[in-house]
Structure 1
Amino acid sequence: MKLSEDLFLDGKVRLLQPVEGYRAATDPVFLAASIKAKAGQKVLDVGCGVGAASLCLAARVDGVQVTGLEIQSDLVAIAAQNIALNKMQERFRVVEGDLSTRPMDPEPNSFDHVMANPPFYESGSGHRPPNEIKARAHMEEDATLKQWVDYMLRMAKPKGSVTFINRVERLEETLACLQGRLGEIVLYPLWSMNPTGPQSRGAKRFILQGRKGLKSPLKFASGLVVHEDDGQYTLQAASILKEGVGLDLSV
């Protein structure tokens, strides 16, 4: 498999990833930025791929311990290379496993934060990409969205945070799966362009974050505008993508 080496966070993270197939872009960086982790806490990255979100989080929060779960053995092998490439052997480990089988490694109810970028598309919907790695990353084939939600809640400690990034088309289903199981939920839209500007295209992605076992009303945040009207990153987006600044979902 041919790999490229790409730089994230202005070179703080070096990432090997397949030239063809699923390639990490901005989503894992925004996901990692939204995790309010502290040194000594444990984070689980479900469906970690080659480790983009995990490495970005570890680069931002010194002392955090990250575990990645990934079903595709090819991506697990590349993630292991990325761990060594970024000298993160003491802080990041990757486990090959299928969340739908509820494996006991990693250990349930043991993570302060659980994060994931589940597949964008339901099984059987749309055109299946010809590249197998990309297809399994984008299409709901190995597990349903409900199984992703169930597994993530199972892995989080009581009152631990659970965070998703996904397409807005999957928001209704995500909320239905979480009903009564996650509290202090914040829904944070990612706007491609200024929602009140002349080139507004609406929000295509959302970040949803809550805490296991709590009960409180859902809150809507104003969200993040990713691009200016000329296509350049906004100052806030650039600070996250290039400088590794955290993303406050309460704003």
Structure 2
Amino acid sequence: MTELREDGFLGGRLRIAQPAQGYRAGADAVMLAAACPARPGDSVLELGCGAGAALLCLGARVPGLRLAGLELQPAYAELARRNAAANAIPAELHEGDLARMPAALRGQSFDHVIANPPYFTGGPPAPDAGRGRARHEATPLPLWIEAGLRRLRPGGWLTLIQRSERLAEILAALSAAAGAITILPVAAREGREAGRIIVAARKGTRAPLRLLSPFVMHAKPLHSADEEDLTGAAQAVLREGAALSLGGPNFR
């Protein structure tokens, strides 16, 4: 990873260095950070933190968090450290495999775990190896969920963003150890199928599942290359750093 570019997040509040070619975080990372219900003083672990975009977006929105990230790829872990320092957001960044959690993390429990696991189960490798590892899973999705639940304190929240077609896998993996499962479908436009889902679940409770109305990203029915056309809600989250409330009787 030799050539980098700097991308603005949250309307330019954050500057994140990412590979010029290969995998780069974008709107999904911001949405994940916005959905985490962390409060000042809470501890948060991100599994597969990449260059740190989601973790740092969360740190920019909520002051006083104890942030930690785990990243498999050394170059991305180093980028995450660099980005945390450049944005003056304290974070512990660990290099390692979530299936063999580093000793420094095995002894800790967190109020929140967040993750944006690879979206694809297989297929041809990407030309860029880092992009391939970020998008095509080497560790099955249920193991991501198991690792996240292990690192949570009782009553802590696991928050994920994933492709909507993988919802059944997520629910199956959560069923034995978590409840208050809250599902937010994310659709590109009104009337379109949701391509993404945000799922939050609370460790150690049996509270019922909640399915929320879709969050719509774009206001116009068709894409225009000349304008961004975000909905007001999407603008608030992506550009202004607003929280994405999944609130309900069991949510914090």
Aligned residue runs from structure 1 range 1-251, under 5 A: 1-88=2-89, 91-108=90-107, 110-122=109-121, 125-141=122-138, 143-195=139-191, 200=192, 202-229=193-220, 230-231=222-223, 232-250=229-247
C-alpha distance in 1, partners of 2:176/2:51?
33
8 A Cα contact 2:46 2:68, kept in partner: yes
8 A Cα contact 1:223 1:249, kept in partner: no
May I ask how many residue pairs the two structures share in their alignment? 241
8 A Cα contact 1:51 1:79, kept in partner: yes
Distance 1:227 1:188, change over 3 A: same
1:92: how far off? 1.1
8 A Cα contact 2:217 2:230, kept in partner: yes
Aligned AA (1:31)? L
1:53: how far off? 0.3
Question: Quick one: percent identity of the two aligned structures?
Answer: 41
8 A Cα contact 2:10 2:239, kept in partner: yes
C-alpha distance in 1, partners of 2:198/2:239?
19
C-alpha distance in 2, partners of 1:126/1:108?
36
Aligned AA (1:97)? G
Point out where structure 2 has 5 or more consecutive residues left out of the alignment. Answer: 224-228
8 A Cα contact 2:194 2:214, kept in partner: no
CA RMSD of aligned residues (A): 1.2
C-alpha distance in 2, partners of 1:3/1:244?
24
1:108: how far off? 4.7
TM-score, normalised to structure 2, is 0.92
1:103: how far off? 2.7
Point out where structure 1 has 5 or more consecutive residues left out of the alignment. Answer: none
Q: Deviations over 1:128-177 (max 9, x none)?
A: 21110000001111x11121111000000000000110001211111111
Aligned AA (2:133)? R
TM-score, normalised to structure 1, is 0.93
8 A Cα contact 1:108 1:156, kept in partner: no
8 A Cα contact 1:190 1:204, kept in partner: yes
